[in-house]
Amino acid sequence: MKNLEGKVAIVTGGSRDIGRSCSVKLAEQGAKVVVNYLADKAAGEETVTTIEKAGGTAILIKGDMTKQSEVQQLVEATQKSFGDSIDILVNNVGGMVARKTIDEMDEDFFSGVIALNLNSTFLATKAVVPHMPAGSAIVNFASLAGRDGGGPGASAYSASKGAIMTFTRSMAKELGPQGIRVNSLCPGMIDTTFHDTFTPDAARKNVEASVPLRRQGHPDDCANTVVYLASDAAAYITGANLDINGGMNFS
């Protein structure tokens, strides 16, 4: 029995890395998946092809989740393909952009990082919630950086991720009476292009050697938890910020 049979899911930033794993895993459980992307169409097409080859259903939609008009277009395209109801929203869009100290940052950079991570989560949530029936679920992506402040030059990123954790708790209280659950994940060191770009190999090896599970995480480690939180198996979990870090940090 597929846990999400007949459900409709939107995964923002769903074309690669953790977003791709979430898209594929949701489809494996029977959800009809909307894979959102912004720049890398080829990666999005590859994700949709992977889903379809496995017998799943997915569509690819381009959109900048920091722009309200494009978020609304995403919702409308989803409804045009799969009907009015949207059961699952995975707010995965985000990034660090660059490592900068406060001396190196200007207001535009700081605001841009906040918009990419926090505003995108707000805009997608606001646009999708009116179409979510009771029993629906939202899963946001925060970060271990939101708990511990992140590494050098990550203050803007960490601030945005900490805000997502608080936004998650607030939405859980606000939307709970409607039967909508809201949770977030706080990944640590996950083997993705994010860390390929922003984390030196030596630092990654140090993490592998020091965490209790002695490895970096895999995108599927996050995606499997997303599937759980989106399913009825997690029907009494809301407002949680779940750590996925191999024991690197305990909250």
Q: What is the SS3 assignment for 137? A: strand
Structure tokens at 127: 């646009």
Helices (H), the chain: 17-28, 41-53, 68-82, 107-114, 120-128, 145-148, 155-175, 193-198, 201-210, 219-230
Largest CA distance in the chain: 55
Domain hosting 173: range is: 8-188+222-236
- 247 in a domain, yes or no? no
Q: What's the pTM?
A: 0.95
- 244 in a domain, yes or no? no
- 40 in a domain, yes or no? yes
Contact 92, 19 (CB under 8 A): yes
For residue 205, count other CB atoms closer than 10 A to its CB: 11
- 141 in a domain, yes or no? yes
Residue 207 is predicted with a pLDDT of 79
Residue 152 is predicted with a pLDDT of 92
> Looking at 37, 157, 228, 236, which residue is catalytic?
157
- 243 in a domain, yes or no? no
**Catalytic residue check, 236:** no
- 196 in a domain, yes or no? no
- 212 in a domain, yes or no? no
Residue type, 167: F
Q: What domain count does the chain have? A: 1
* Domain containing residue 90: CATH number: 3.40.50.720
Contact 28, 203 (CB under 8 A): no
- 144 in a domain, yes or no? yes
Ranges of residues in the chain with a pLDDT under 70 are: 1, 193-199
Residue 199 is predicted with a pLDDT of 65
Residue 214 is predicted with a pLDDT of 86
